[in-house]
Structure 1
């Protein structure tokens, strides 16, 4: 799109599509957005520079689209400017289109090494299957749900670090809108009713699962509450020819185990096959998600204010 025809993107749009050369145009648009937020709040270049521990000239270059914006700087400025959720979504989308910065380089300070390996593998997988009996899988968590869990588990993290962790979740979710990998989440029904925050937050999370269930490359399958569910989470990936064909992964409190041994992979595959065989049928699955949404929406309606 020629510069002369550039228009301000719709702030409600989840995606800002770009043509060739869009990275440069996105950079200018991202800079324009940051400058508008700064000026709207009455902050100076020096105010913004102190937030990112940089110089006024660096802020000026970022706002003109002449210098790349690091995700940590974007996160700190967005928090400082108090941007809304829709405004933040636009900033993140523009940053995604401008940045050649590696995903785990952007989040190095809050990403353990075992998770960096998982992120690399996710990008090249053909199929990803996740089983969870305790929480909604990370790739399907809404911002508020992810934020609540992070604050619950990562007690030593600052607010800025919590937002970076949530940002990493959001960036990983972008692959769900692509042709591959194809994604299947097997979730124990009790997870849908486990409160990790207020009822309206939980309603939003379950609606997201309900909507994701109908996506082209993703499927959410629910295991009935009466099913005796294994207590451990399982993450399983298969790959196209020319790479390692199969990999399983199990996360624990302070790390993760990657399973490549054939005997252990066979055991994991049998476990997942058994879980798939016990999920609700299609119509029952839809009804299970609808029931959970209605449950949380009902509780939210009863809450004062």
Structure 2
């Protein structure tokens, strides 16, 4: 079942199409529901839910009726439900909660990670070591909740209908998070993940012909294998940006294609990961 976040995005897209078809502006729609135009914008972006009474007014303005109207009302009801991750508010910040909903519903996900292993490929020991380094004062209880959430997110790996593509910088493989045994186990885990039929994993080597923006990590999410629904997620230290305009998505897709072309092939990448794991094992 799609999450409330996805249902809101679907409804938002449908509302925008209906408004465009009716040749109405956001200002005109806002007047009907006695709100600011910014509220219509948030609704169409899927950033907030809508009351059924407000939806009825918009549907009347746009001339939407019958099965289409029934479908949009169903989306509105589903979009107002609590999301799967709503019980983890102390662990998952508000700006990231939308991402984990999107991640769970995506049909294709592409990660580029320049410095650390992507969250859904991290081992428990690696997660704990990262928290100890980034948050030295964090409590054991908080760490345990972080681990639980991140491991639960990894269920997406077991969804055969989801295609997962990763490009990891060689730096992410060589950067020590924890001790040698933790890194060895993490590298072995990566090599095993690379064998999954729905996973494509490539390494961008140090000597690759990369581009100025290659230091920026990002994720491209696609839904129902429809490129027009793509969302790009870019995370900073304290926030996350969700980009879904055509130009922004195209720019990051082009960057992904350049990075993929510069990266090692899948077999060569897995061989490098195994070799690095062996090097960790050889250390005293």
Structure 2 residue corresponding to 1:125, chosen from 106, 109, 115: 106
Q: SS state of the match for residue 107, structure 2? A: strand
The corresponding residue for 1:168 is 149
Where do 1:1-305 residues align within 5 Å? Answer: 103-227=84-208, 228=210, 230-240=214-224, 245-299=229-283, 302=284
Which is further off, 227-236 or 202-211? 227-236
1:130/1:242 Cα in 2 relative to 1: closer, same or farther (>3 Å)?
Answer: closer
The answer as to whether partners of 1:123 and 1:181 remain within 8 angstroms in 2 is no
User: In the aligned structure 2, how far is the partner of 1:239 from the partner of 1:252?
Assistant: 24
The two structures, once aligned, show a CA RMSD in angstroms of 1.8
1:155/1:103 Cα in 2 relative to 1: closer, same or farther (>3 Å)?
Answer: farther
Query: Looking at both structures, which has the greater relative contact order when contacts are Cα pairs under 8 Å and sequence separation is at least 6?
Result: 2
Corresponding pairs, count = 200
User: In the aligned structure 1, how far is the partner of 2:129 from the partner of 2:110?
Assistant: 24
User: In the aligned structure 1, how far is the partner of 2:140 from the partner of 2:94?
Assistant: 22
Which is further off, 217-226 or 237-246? 237-246
User: In the aligned structure 2, how far is the partner of 1:292 from the partner of 1:209?
Assistant: 11
Q: SS state of the match for residue 115, structure 1? A: helix
The answer as to whether partners of 2:104 and 2:153 remain within 8 angstroms in 1 is no
Measured after TM superposition, the shift of residue 175 of structure 1 is 1.7
Q: Deviations over 1:195-223 (max 9, x none)?
A: 01110110000000000000021122111
The answer as to whether partners of 2:85 and 2:97 remain within 8 angstroms in 1 is yes
Could you tell me which runs of 5 or more consecutive residues in structure 1 were left unpaired when the two chains were aligned. 1-100
TM-score relative to the length of structure 2: 0.67
TM-score relative to the length of structure 1: 0.62
User: In the aligned structure 1, how far is the partner of 2:260 from the partner of 2:226?
Assistant: 27
Q: Deviations over 1:86-134 (max 9, x none)?
A: xxxxxxxxxxxxxxx9541342211101211001111221100000111
Could you tell me which runs of 5 or more consecutive residues in structure 2 were left unpaired when the two chains were aligned. 1-81
Measured after TM superposition, the shift of residue 244 of structure 1 is 5.9
User: In the aligned structure 1, how far is the partner of 2:148 from the partner of 2:187?
Assistant: 20
User: In the aligned structure 2, how far is the partner of 1:244 from the partner of 1:117?
Assistant: 19
